[in-house]
Amino acid sequence: MKIPPVKGTRDFYPPQMAVRNWIIDGWKRVSRRNGFEEYDGPIFEYLKMYQVKSGDEIVEQLFNMTDRGGRDLAIRPEITPTLARMVNQQINSLARPIKWFSVPRLCRAERPQKGRLREFFQWNIDIIGVDSVLADAEVIFATVDFLREVGLGPSDVKVKISSRKLLGVFLSGIGVGQEKLDGIYAVLDKKGKLPADTFEELLKEQVPDKDAAGKILDFMRVDSIPEVEKLIEADSNERIAWNEVKNVLAYLEMMGVGEYCVYDPSIVRGLAYYTGIVFEVHDIVGELRAICGGGRYDNLLKDFGGPMVSATGMGMGDCVLEILLREKSLLGDSISTREIEYFVAFADNVFGSHVYRLAGELRRRGFSASFSYKPESGLSKQLKEASAQNAKKCVIIGQEFLEGRKLVIKDMGTSEQEVVGYDDFLVSLERGG
């Protein structure tokens, strides 16, 4: 009986695993150079964790189960609720600002499509305990820092920045009640993702008044900063929220990534907990789903029973990113699955014991070393095996060894060979190979 992999999951054979590690190593390196510390939590939590404030969309996509003790649990679809729970647990002893990152494996029962799977990896960076939009700018900067490092420039991707606060104030201004906001945000977030008529139907359910719905759509279209300036009154709550957006853009300009960033009022975000600056990164062509998304969530810690502590962060999945990197030929074929520094080959069976001894010596000194399991196969076959294993150098034990304890070192890149004494070779390894 052949059992296929589960829909929406991936098998990571060594070549795919090498790509996954390459991406994750980059995320971790960039997190560290931006001053974030790594954390992780459990892969499942109580189901109610995600029912508190993540929003209906995520709840509908949960993989949940009841354990043997009758507890309702869910596999994590995101790590932000776990982060809020963990920080709340130690809120009095953690030095602020808390700058943490994580790369959790997440599961969402989404309809699998290009860039969206049921199991994926997501880079998270979050700053907790900072009210200033400087923290929002830092999160966006670190995001761009990674994208820039892997070769994605401002002509490949755009960071679209907006504000839930600004939209919230605007909606209240046209008479939308506070209790309706979460429902409207969820619909507005789907604007670019649904066919126009389906979107309009959904919006009508939330905002039956045609005039009000029209005003909302107009608001989401004006993305020119001078135009917005003209529309926003001085000394209003809208002005306060708008100034935050302008400040974030100004900080990002100062940090040298202004070219990547634009104001885009159509960014709303699907999750319910956002309260301020929100952003998403999209490919310029706009064919793919968001590469990443995040924003400020100042009430989440309080919603989980902690004190009122402000927070901001983002999540970037590996799927869309990988598609884009492949499209732009930025992954290359050079990500190797194995790195062998020395392949120890032998010209004749009689040298077998020396091969195993030398391989052992090399590994003891921290070098990666390999040898053939088929000593009878002959030298040329072993050299082929060395190439197939991507070995940098081949150490050949042959006639020279019998005559004067000498080894032939062959550089597999240039094919150059040199003869060195066995002991000199070991000494050279001590000096770093």
Binding stretches for ligand HAM (CB under 6 A): 78, 80, 108, 110, 116-117, 120, 122, 124, 126, 271, 290-294, 313-317, 319-320
Write the CA distances from 362 to 260, 357, 417, integer angstroms. Answer: 47, 9, 19
Minimum CB separation from ligand HAM for residue 3, in Å?
23
Contacts of 218 (CB under 8 A, 6+ apart): none
Task: Name residue, tokens 């004749």.
Answer: 348
Pick 296 or 410: Cβ nearer ligand HAM: 296
Pick 139 or 345: Cβ nearer ligand HAM: 139
Pick 136 or 385: Cβ nearer ligand HAM: 136
Q: Which residues of 304-321 are buried (b: 16+ CB within 10 A; e: fewer)?
A: beeeebbbbbbbbbbbbb
> Residue 75: beta bridge partners?
44
Pick 269 or 393: Cβ nearer ligand HAM: 269
Q: Which residues of 242-274 are buried (b: 16+ CB within 10 A; e: fewer)?
A: bebbebbbebbeeeebbebbbbbbbbbbbbbbb
Minimum CB separation from ligand HAM for residue 79, in Å?
7
Q: How far from chain centre, in Å, is Cα 421?
A: 48
Minimum CB separation from ligand HAM for residue 84, in Å?
10
Minimum CB separation from ligand HAM for residue 119, in Å?
8
CA distance 244 to 231: 16
In this chain, which residue has its C-beta nearest to ligand HAM? 317
Contact 278, 268 (CB under 8 A): yes
Minimum CB separation from ligand HAM for residue 109, in Å?
9
Pick 109 or 347: Cβ nearer ligand HAM: 109
Minimum CB separation from ligand HAM for residue 80, in Å?
4
Q: Which residue type does 341 have?
A: E
Minimum CB separation from ligand HAM for residue 402, in Å?
59
Contacts of 298 (CB under 8 A, 6+ apart): 275, 276, 308, 309, 310, 311
Pick 80 or 370: Cβ nearer ligand HAM: 80
CA distance 78 to 233: 38
Pick 55 or 370: Cβ nearer ligand HAM: 55
Cis? peptide before 154, omega within 30° of 0: no
Contact 128, 87 (CB under 8 A): yes
Pick 77 or 265: Cβ nearer ligand HAM: 77
Minimum CB separation from ligand HAM for residue 163, in Å?
15
How far apart, in Å, do the first and last CA atoms of the chain sit? 50
